[in-house]
A and B are shown apart, each in its own frame.
Chain A
Amino acid sequence: MSNEIINKIGEALYHFYLEADKDTIKNSLKDDIQDTVEYEKKKKRIIFLANAAAKKKHNEYLLQLADKFEQALLSNIEKPIAILKQIIHGNASLALHRNLDKLSKEEIIEIIKDKNLVELLEQLDNNEKKH
């Protein structure tokens, strides 16, 4: 069969499943899933595992970043310290942490936990590469 036609049908069905509302999807699944109890069990397991993996990855990033900031404070490296100061200044609830010299790792985690960790990590890595 025509490759272009197959591709176009495939593309259209991709957008259909991406866009279709909850009821349409439920109706579609009703025709195709024989054991709904088993399916719901699998789905719960997938969501649980995905949440656990996402949290684990988030915590790994947090610890990795906190280590980098801690090292930067000890070694008095300009750029990471500037980043920390910027975060603290941008958030009134972090005003208690103005004395950067005395920050513990837990306090660093408290400061950075709500930020885009991947972006922060990239900023620090780029800074390390430059030096």
Chain B
Amino acid sequence: MNLAEAIQSENMDEIIDSMNAYAISILKSVGVKDFNGKHPVDFVGDLLLKVMEGTRDWDKAECSFKEFLFGCLKSDIYSFLKTIKRHSSDELPEIPVNDDPINFEEKKNQIVELLKQEGANDDELIVFEYWMDGIFKPAIIAAELGVPVKDIYVIIKRLERKRKKIEQQAINMI
């Protein structure tokens, strides 16, 4: 499927909403107020133009158009955050080294405790455990638990609201 066909066959209105929600989620999590005057949706617009102009090469992709766009957006925003981190290293969380397994378990347990202190219920803790085990797709978690995927979406949104606070406390703690 070429680019013109891909863009016409997809519901771009919905894809842009999803990408914008994702961009908001990442940008909010780093706690920086100003992104060189850009709004999250501007990252989406810039990325789509790059794809249309061929700077990001859809023709060589081996996934769905939506997955391709999401992957590019993630990479663009993280690259952007690295550049602003160079200018304001105090504002963003440092990029730490990989953990050894014992360290990881210890830190994970501390985060679970923090989540509990923040009022996380059993459902949230179960989903968090799935994430820590490397199972990320909501549909798979829903299937494993035998619940509708919509329930998992609700739980994830609740976890996401606690994310900033948890990360901030964890940085101070560890």
Contact = CB atoms under 8 A, between A and B. Distances in A.
Interface of A: 1-6, 8-22, 24-29, 32, 39, 42-43, 45-47, 49-51, 53-55, 57-58, 61, 116-118
Contacts of B134: 8
A47 to B, nearest CB: 5
Chain B contact residues, majority secondary structure: helix
Given A2-B170, A5-B108, A53 B22 contact: no
B131 A20 contact: no
Shortest Cβ-Cβ A-B pairs, 9 listed? A53-B52, A17-B22, A58-B4, A1-B170, A54-B4, A12-B131, A2-B107, A46-B45, A3-B96
Chain A contact residues, majority secondary structure: helix
Interface of B: 1-4, 6-8, 12-14, 16-22, 24-26, 28, 39, 41-42, 44-45, 48-49, 51-54, 59, 66-67, 70, 74, 93, 95-99, 103-104, 107-108, 111, 131-132, 134, 136-139, 149-150, 153, 156-157, 160, 163, 167, 170-171, 174
A1 B171 contact: yes
B17 A29 contact: yes
A57 to B, nearest CB: 6
Contact of B21 (A5, A32, A53): A32
Contacts of B160: 13, 16
A25 B107 contact: no
Most buried by A among B8, B41, B67: B41
Contacts of A4: 98-99, 104
Contacts of B171: 1
Most buried by B among A12, A14, A53: A12
B6 to A, nearest CB: 8
A33 B39 CA distance: 10
Nearest to A24: B153
Contacts of A39: 20, 41
Nearest to A3: B96
Contacts of A47: 12-13, 16
B2 A118 contact: yes
B171 to A, nearest CB: 5
A126 to B, nearest CB: 15
A43 B16 contact: yes
Given A42-B45, A46-B48, A53-B49, 11 more contacts: A1-B93, A9-B163, A14-B70, A15-B136, A17-B21, A25-B21, A26-B17, A32-B21, A45-B45, A50-B49, A51-B8
